[in-house]
Amino acid sequence: MGAAGSSALGRLGLPAPSRPAWLGAAALGLAAVALGTVAWRRARCRRRRRPRQVGTVAQLWIYPVKSCKGVPVSAAECTALGLRCGHLRDRFWLVIKEDGHMVTARQEPRLVLVSITYEGNRLILKAPGMDQLALPSELPSSNKLRDCRLFGMDIKGRDCGDQAAQWFTNFLKTESLRLVQFEKHMKGRPSKDIFSASVPDYQVAYPDCCPIMILSEASLVDLNARLEKKVKMDQFRPNIVVTGCDAFEEVSGSGRPS
């Protein structure tokens, strides 16, 4: 308030306001407005970040040995290297040739007949016409490390021993094969070498291209509607099967891919 205003108040017999008190009141008012704005923005952010259900997990699958049958599980942990349930890890075992090149169902379709169960920290493998094979979930460090090749990329594997090698060789009736196991301290294949450099930087063990594969039931229905010969979910070997969403929402989150 200026000097003229103060003089006018004096003529009316009213005390002039103290300048510091007036400034203090204004500052408090501004602070209250600022705090209110911050609180409103934080509440709005919380509302925006509130989880929204976009589907329901219908099935969980772990495929311990690449190209062999999967193991259904009721719960699993999502790790940087794929799903895990106890000592069961997804695609942590791989059949290779003696020179280290991978062997999958693309080369040996009978691999899909190998079933797996998990008992007492051991993987139990069964196949038509074969005695079962029991593999320890953790191999001794004295087992040989082998150089492997997946899609032209190098990766390591711990050899599972002669018994496992002979088992797969006898079942597939082919050249000499070995079985190797990936260990979590090993270096996986960098995602930037599989995809373009724009994808997040992560490691891939023995899966084709990514640690976790997701497929929705709606996508399978959509695909089968356009096929003469229908296909089944297990032919795509997904880790997570989702229901309650539209076809291909697991790809883009917004409907069909363009």
Q: What is the pLDDT along the chain (258 residues), one digit of tens a residue?
A: 544 444 444 444 445 545 555 445 555 555 555 556 656 566 666 666 677 777 899 999 999 999 999 999 999 999 999 999 988 999 999 999 999 999 999 999 999 999 999 988 899 999 999 999 999 988 999 999 999 999 999 999 999 999 999 999 999 999 999 999 999 899 999 988 888 766 778 899 999 989 999 999 999 999 999 999 999 999 999 999 999 999 998 886 543 332
CB atoms within 10 A of CB 25: 11
> Can you give the pLDDT at residue 154?
96
User: Can you spell out the DSSP letters for the chain?
Assistant: --HHHHHHHHHTTPPPPPHHHHHHHHHHHHHHHHHHHHHHHHHHHHHHHS-----EEEEEEE-SBTTS--EEES--EEETTEEEETTEETT-EEEEETTSBEE-TTT-GGGGG-EEEEETTEEEEE-TTS--EEEESS--TTSPEEEEEETTEEEEEEE--HHHHHHHHHHHTSS-EEEEE--TTS--EEHHHHS-TTS---EE-SSSS-S--EEEHHHHHHHHTT-SS---GGGT--SEEEESS-TTHHHHSSSS--
Predicted pLDDT of residue 33: 52
What pLDDT, on the 0 to 100 scale, is given for residue 102?
97
- Smallest Cα–Cα separation from 113: which of 178, 177, 174, 168? 168
For the chain, which residues make up each domain, given as ranges? 56-204, 214-252
The predicted pLDDT at position 251 comes to: 80
Q: Are 182 and 75 in contact (CB under 8 A)?
A: no
Contacts of 127 (CB under 8 A, 6+ apart): 110, 113, 114, 115, 171
